[in-house]
Amino acid sequence: MQPNEISVTRFEVEDIARYLRATLNQASRIRANAPAGSYLDSVLGRTIEGLELELAQLKFLLADPEFPVPAKEIGRPERMRRAM
């Protein structure tokens, strides 16, 4: 591990994504009540764009096959029953 790297699990990344989605929803609700073209509207617009970008990056990270998978997710695949 490099000096600037930290170790996180898939579940921690999912928790972060859940928090960011809740924050995005709250920012969208506040922006819906802000006057169009106001300073608040423009700040929230940039904030929402940033949150969407972060969520997209986390989604990409979770889909990456090199992302470490917790041991309980690794196991034998379920076998189907024999046909009769």
User: Within its chain, how far is the Cα of 56 from the centroid?
Assistant: 7
User: Which residue range(s) make up the domain with 37?
Assistant: 10-65
Residue with tokens 């699990």: 9
Q: Is residue 70 part of a domain?
A: no
Q: How far is residue 73 from each of residues 43, 46, 50, 60, measured CA to CA in Å?
A: 41, 37, 31, 19
How many CA within 13 A on the CB side of residue 70? 9
Q: Is residue 81 part of a domain?
A: no
Alpha-carbon gap, residue 30 to 17, rounded angstroms: 20
pLDDT 10s digits, 15-45: 999 999 999 999 999 999 999 889 999 999 9
Q: Is residue 25 part of a domain?
A: yes
Q: Which pLDDT band, with edges at 50, 70 and 90, does 68 fall under?
A: low
Q: Is residue 82 part of a domain?
A: no
Token digits for 82? 């024999």
pTM of the model: 0.66
Q: Is residue 1 part of a domain?
A: no
Q: Is residue 39 part of a domain?
A: yes
